[in-house]
């Protein structure tokens, strides 16, 4: 193995686009790998029928809880016309983020997250929030249409009002479908990296439509988080790489570690 290039010659499917996908591609290439960025998920604003009520009541919430970077981004998209008044009311609101990337996105809007769990999952968020002695009377959770209800359920189980505002929706961008089919048919891939159940479900939509299950079975599956891992395993595939920290950076490092160790054993 070339020193500093643990992914030398390895072909890696990256299923996220945008800045995160670009960075992941760069990291894979820097480690000697060949990245294939085929975005299998994209996002757009969602017009929730309850949005006017949530917006009108913003100053009544004592916590606003963000469970993703997109939750932050699209929340501010929807309240852009209220930005000046929100600057005043946010002084009386406390903010929480499910993970480091979400907290960093909040900083772009000059907001500090008062609480973030040690483990970046919705389940751990609900548990740790109350273990740290925090409480609330009314919380708002801006989220995507496919996000779980776990955080809200934790608050509601304690008699706390937890409003879930769908600020964005997830969809499958089809423009690279033919490219993905070609890559799979040629059995190029050593690994496929999935950042959410949605990216994997969209991958399987292509696999099943074009009868490529046998080809997909030859690939090392990498996932972020237990929910994504479960989605992959329920389709009958094994998950080779699943970092303890639920970030793309952690996935990349574990990818390098896996292939680096594998090459050392084979050499």
* DSSP secondary structure, 88-141, as one string: HHGGG-EEEESSHHHHHHHHTTT---SB--SS-SHHHHHHHHHHTT---SEEEE
- Residue after which a domain boundary falls, among 133, 151, 170: 170
Q: What is the pLDDT of residue 261?
A: 86
Q: Measuring CA to CA, how many Å separate 74 from each of 59, 62, 68, 141, 149?
A: 18, 20, 10, 12, 18
pLDDT of the chain along its 267 residues, tens only? 456 799 999 999 999 998 889 999 999 999 999 999 999 999 999 999 999 999 999 999 999 999 999 999 999 999 999 988 998 899 999 999 999 989 999 999 999 999 999 877 788 888 899 999 999 999 999 999 999 899 999 999 999 999 999 999 999 999 999 999 999 999 999 999 999 999 999 999 999 999 999 999 999 999 998 889 999 999 999 999 999 988 899 999 999 999 988 777 765
Burial category of 84 from C-beta neighbours within 10 Å (exposed 0-12, middle 13-18, buried 19 and up): exposed
Which CATH number covers residue 152?
3.40.50.10090
- Residue after which a domain boundary falls, among 146, 170, 194: 170
**DSSP string over 251-265:** HHHHHHHHHHHHHHH
Question: Six-digit token pair at 14?
Answer: 């990256």
Q: What is the pLDDT of residue 124?
A: 86
* pTM > 0.85: yes or no: no
Establish if 213 belongs to a structural domain.
yes
Question: Is 106 in the same domain as 198?
Answer: no
How many domains in the chain?
A: 2
Domain that holds residue 61: 44-170
Q: Measuring CA to CA, how many Å separate 189 from each of 9, 57, 205, 241?
A: 10, 50, 18, 15
Q: What is the pLDDT of residue 119?
A: 79
Question: Is 231 in the same domain as 165?
Answer: no
Q: What is the pLDDT of residue 262?
A: 77
Question: Is 154 in the same domain as 73?
Answer: yes
Q: What is the pLDDT of residue 76?
A: 96
Question: Is 89 in the same domain as 159?
Answer: yes
Question: Is 149 in the same domain as 223?
Answer: no
Question: Six-digit token pair at 207?
Answer: 């696999």
Q: What is the pLDDT of residue 267?
A: 59
Q: What is the pLDDT of residue 222?
A: 98
Question: Is 55 in the same domain as 159?
Answer: yes
């Amino acid at each position: 193995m070339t020193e500093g290039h643990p992914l030398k010659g390895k072909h890696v499917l990256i299923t996220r686009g945008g800045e995160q996908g670009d960075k992941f591609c760069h990291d894979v290439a820097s480690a000697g790998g060949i990245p294939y960025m085929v975005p299998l998920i994209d996002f757009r604003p969602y017009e929730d029928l309850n949005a006017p009520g949530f917006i009108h009541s913003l100053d009544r919430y004592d916590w606003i809880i963000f469970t993703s970077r997109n939750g932050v981004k699209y929340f501010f998209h929807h309240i852009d016309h209220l930005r000046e008044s929100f600057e005043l009311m946010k002084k009386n609101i406390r903010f929480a983020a499910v993970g480091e990337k979400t907290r960093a996105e909040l900083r772009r809007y000059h907001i500090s997250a008062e609480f973030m769990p040690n483990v970046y999952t919705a389940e751990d968020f609900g548990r740790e929030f109350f273990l740290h002695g925090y409480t609330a009377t009314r919380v708002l959770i801006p989220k995507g249409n496919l996000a779980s209800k776990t955080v809200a359920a934790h608050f509601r189980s304690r008699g706390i009002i937890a409003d879930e505002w769908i600020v964005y929706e997830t969809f499958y961008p089809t423009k690279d479908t033919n490219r993905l089919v070609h890559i799979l048919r040629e059995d190029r891939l050593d690994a496929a990296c999935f950042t959410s159940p949605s990216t994997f479900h969209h991958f399987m939509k292509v696999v099943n439509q074009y009868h490529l299950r046998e080809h997909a079975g030859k690939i090392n599956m990498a996932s972020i988080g237990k929910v994504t891992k479960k989605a992959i395993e329920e389709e009958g595939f094994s998950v080779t790489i699943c970092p303890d920290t639920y970030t793309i950076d952690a996935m990349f490092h574990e990818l390098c570690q896996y292939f680096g160790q594998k090459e050392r054993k084979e050499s």
